[in-house]
C-alpha cells in the first residue's frame, strides 16, 4: 500500500513539471502599424528597423548623412582638434556634412536595426593614415569629456574593439546615437547617449546626458 501511494505521488509530481530540454511556447509575432511582422530579439523585444527621412529602411553598405532632426540644416564632418590625426567627429551647420556607412555586428543580415551594435564610418578619404571608422576616444582630462574620433577597426567584435561599437536608438519622433556596446559581456564600460560638446574646435560629438537628436538622409 505504501509503495503504491509513493508511486502515485511521484507520477503526479513529474506530470506537473516540463521535461528538461522541451521547447517553450513560440513567441507571438509583433507587427508594426502596417501589419508587417517585426523581428523579435532574444529578450522578446522587437528590433525595429531604422528608416531614413523618406521612410525607407537603412541598408547596410549604403551611404547616408546623419543630420539634425531639428529644422537646422547640418550634418557630421571631420576636423582636427589640436592634433593632426586622427580626425575627430563634429556637427556642422549649413551643409549636410560627409556621408557615412553603417555596418552592424552581423552585416550579413542586411538590415540596420535599433539597439544593435554597429560600426559607423565615413565614406570618404582623408589625409590621415588612420581609418575613418568612428570610435570613442580616450578620456580627455583637459575637458572632462569622452569624444568621438576616428581610427577605429571595422568588425572583429570583442574586448579589443570595444570602443568602436555604437547603437541607434529611438528618441522621441527621431533617433539618437548611443555608446553601449554588447559585443563584450565581461568588459567594463559606461553606457551613454552621444551629444554635443562645443569648444574652440566646433560642435564635437561626445558622451552626454543630452542626446543629439538625429535622422538619416540617403546620400
| Beta strands, E only, 8-162 | 30-31, 37-38, 63-68, 74-79, 88-93, 100-104, 118-122, 135-136, 148-149
Please list, in sequence order, all residues whose beta carbon lies within 8 angstroms of the beta carbon of residue 191, skipping any fewer than 6 positions away: 178, 179, 180
Q: Say how far apart CA 47 and CA 74 lie, in whole Å.
A: 28
Phi, psi angles (nearest 5°) of residue 171: -145, 110
What's the pTM? Answer: 0.77
Span 68-96, pLDDT tens digits: 998 878 999 999 998 899 999 999 999 99
CA 183 to chain centre: 11
Q: In the chain, what percentage of residues exceed pLDDT 90?
A: 69
pLDDT (0 to 100) of residue 109: 77
Q: Say how far apart CA 160 and CA 202 lie, in whole Å.
A: 30
Of 214, 215, 196, 106, nearest in space to 157 by CA: 106
Task: Quote the mean pLDDT of the chain.
Answer: 82
Report the alpha-carbon angle 154-157-160, nearest 5: 90
Span 26-59, pLDDT tens digits: 233 333 333 433 343 444 445 899 999 999 999 9
- Residue corresponding to grid cell 559606461: 190
Span 154-208, pLDDT tens digits: 999 999 999 999 999 999 999 999 999 999 888 888 899 999 999 999 999 999 9
Amino acid at each position: 500500500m505504501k509503495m503504491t501511494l509513493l508511486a502515485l505521488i511521484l507520477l503526479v509530481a513529474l506530470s506537473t513539471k516540463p521535461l528538461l530540454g522541451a521547447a517553450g511556447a513560440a513567441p507571438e509575432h509583433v507587427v508594426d502599424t502596417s501589419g508587417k511582422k517585426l523581428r523579435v530579439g532574444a529578450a522578446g523585444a522587437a528590433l525595429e528597423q531604422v528608416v531614413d527621412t523618406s521612410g525607407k529602411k537603412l541598408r547596410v553598405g549604403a551611404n547616408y548623412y546623419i543630420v539634425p532632426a531639428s529644422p537646422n540644416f547640418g550634418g557630421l564632418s571631420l576636423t582636427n582638434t589640436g592634433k593632426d590625426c586622427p580626425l575627430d567627429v563634429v556637427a556642422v551647420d549649413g551643409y549636410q556634412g560627409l556621408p557615412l556607412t553603417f555596418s552592424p555586428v552581423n552585416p550579413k543580415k542586411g538590415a540596420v536595426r535599433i539597439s544593435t551594435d554597429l560600426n559607423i564610418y565615413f565614406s570618404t578619404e582623408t589625409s590621415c593614415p588612420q581609418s575613418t571608422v568612428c570610435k570613442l576616444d580616450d578620456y580627455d582630462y583637459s575637458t572632462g569629456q569622452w569624444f568621438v574620433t576616428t581610427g577605429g577597426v571595422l568588425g572583429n567584435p570583442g574586448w579589443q574593439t570595444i570602443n568602436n561599437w555604437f547603437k541607434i536608438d529611438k528618441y522621441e519622433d527621431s533617433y539618437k546615437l548611443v555608446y553601449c556596446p554588447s559585443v563584450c559581456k565581461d568588459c567594463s564600460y559606461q553606457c551613454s547617449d552621444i551629444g554635443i560638446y562645443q569648444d574652440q574646435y566646433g560642435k564635437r560629438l561626445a558622451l552626454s546626458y543630452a542626446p543629439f537628436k538625429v535622422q538619416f538622409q540617403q546620400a
